[in-house]
């Protein structure tokens, strides 16, 4: 195989290369492509180094597959050019997810949405992937009527700039702690006003260390954010169920290992709790990690570096009928991005 990774020098691109190596592609021809400022850089892969080439050069090399993690604008510009050259593109950005002519795929759920002539395939948003995979077996059995989801999303979903911001803020606090020699309480602060936010070379308008904020993506006119809207639109498209009601709230938390989600799901049919747990446990790609007596429940520290979606805190919602509560955790850089894209490619190769 000849496989291009577009955006290879980025956070997700690096994970894509790692997953390719882990999943048996170490001996294939791997093309590392990135922006012009990165051309010529050498990056490790398996037992060798790859020299970064431009995206135009990667197109001219006619790879079988091009896996994109370079942002929506780059995908809109270059994915059609790869497709025209006969390459199958699997795109990790938001560029094609809402396009009715482009399949949006979680391979365990809807790989059959990809037709023989499809040359651009969209990879869903990271928070969507883990939620729909956890719910997929339950949806087939009971039919989902409504989902209320609150996400607790890792800073790695924003990128390396966010990771550096957290590290710098942690370091500043540690320095202050060392100087004081005791616990350092945070002083009361005035409420921030527009124009007073900390945006200088930062990924976020506020500090993320010892903080969280209910904001991911851009705010829309209706008060929801684009990250929240993705959970609505993508869930309906992947399940091919436009009637599913979805209400989402996204929060960014000072965590590196993965995204967590509190999911409240109402079904069209009544469910048996033991059967529902069994369905979750047997869903491909999902691990039921749930034993309250032993304090077993999913956390980002157990999902980091793994490809499974972990589900716990499975319990009936006692406030209304046919409703279940779940806690869902996954590594957003792997199953939420790189691994899902590569699994799509693997299914297409087969």
At 111 the pLDDT is: 98
Structural domains present in the chain: 2-123+338-349 (3.40.50.720), 128-158+210-332 (3.30.360.10)
Nearest to 250 by CA among 236, 232, 268, 238: 232
Spell out a b/e string for 151-183, using b for 16 or more CB atoms within 10 Å of the CB, else e: bbbbbbbbeeebbebbeebeeeeeeeeeeeeee
Helix (H, G, I), strand (E, B) or coil at 137: helix
The answer to whether residue 139 is catalytic is no
**pLDDT at res. 331:** 98
DSSP code, position 296: B
- The rounded average pLDDT for each run of 10 residues, N- to C-terminus, in the chain (350 residues) is 97 97 97 97 96 98 97 97 98 97 98 97 98 98 98 95 93 79 68 64 88 95 97 98 98 96 98 98 98 97 97 98 98 98 97
pTM greater than 0.75: yes
The strand pair at 42-45 and 48-51 is best described as antiparallel
Write down the H helix ranges in the chain: 11-22, 55-60, 72-84, 107-110, 126-142, 160-180, 226-239, 273-282, 300-303, 339-349
User: What phi, psi does 328 have (nearest 5°)?
Assistant: -125, 130
CB 345 within 8 A of CB 90: yes
């Amino acid at each position: 195989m000849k496989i291009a990774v577009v955006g290879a020098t980025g956070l997700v691109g690096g994970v894509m290369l790692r997953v390719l190596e882990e999943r048996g592609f170490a001996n294939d021809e791997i093309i590392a492509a990135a922006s012009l400022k990165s051309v010529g850089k050498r990056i490790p892969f398996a037992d060798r180094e790859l020299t970064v080439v431009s995206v135009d050069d990667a197109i001219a090399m006619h790879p079988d597959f091009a896996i994109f993690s370079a942002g929506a604008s780059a995908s809109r510009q270059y994915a059609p050019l790869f497709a025209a050259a006969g390459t199958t593109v699997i795109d990790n950005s938001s560029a094609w997810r809402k396009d009715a002519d482009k399949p949006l795929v979680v391979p365990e759920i809807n790989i059959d949405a990809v037709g023989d002539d499809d040359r651009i395939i969209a990879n869903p948003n990271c928070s969507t992937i883990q939620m729909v995979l956890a719910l997929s077996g339950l949806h087939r059995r009971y039919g989902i009527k409504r989902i209320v989801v609150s996400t607790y999303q890792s800073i790695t979903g924003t990128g390396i700039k966010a990771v550096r911001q957290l590290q710098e803020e942690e370091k500043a606090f540690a320095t202050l702690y060392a100087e004081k020699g005791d616990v350092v309480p945070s002083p009361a602060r005035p409420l921030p006003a527009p124009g007073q936010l900390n945006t200088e070379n930062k990924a976020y308008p506020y500090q993320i260390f010892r903080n969280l904020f209910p904001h991911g993506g851009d705010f829309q006119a209706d008060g929801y954010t684009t990250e929240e809207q993705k959970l609505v639109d993508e869930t309906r498209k992947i399940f091919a169920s436009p009637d599913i009601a979805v209400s989402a709230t996204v929060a960014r938390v000072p965590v590196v290992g993965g995204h967590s989600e509190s999911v409240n799901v109402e079904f069209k049919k009544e469910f048996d709790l033991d059967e529902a747990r069994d369905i979750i446990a047997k869903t491909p790609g999902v691990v039921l990690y749930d034993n309250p007596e032993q304090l077993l429940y999913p956390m980002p520290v157990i999902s980091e570096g793994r490809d499974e979606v972990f589900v716990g805190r499975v319990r009936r919602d006692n406030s209304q009928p046919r409703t279940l509560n779940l806690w869902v955790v996954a590594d957003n850089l792997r199953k939420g991005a790189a691994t899902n894209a590569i699994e799509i490619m693997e299914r297409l190769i087969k």
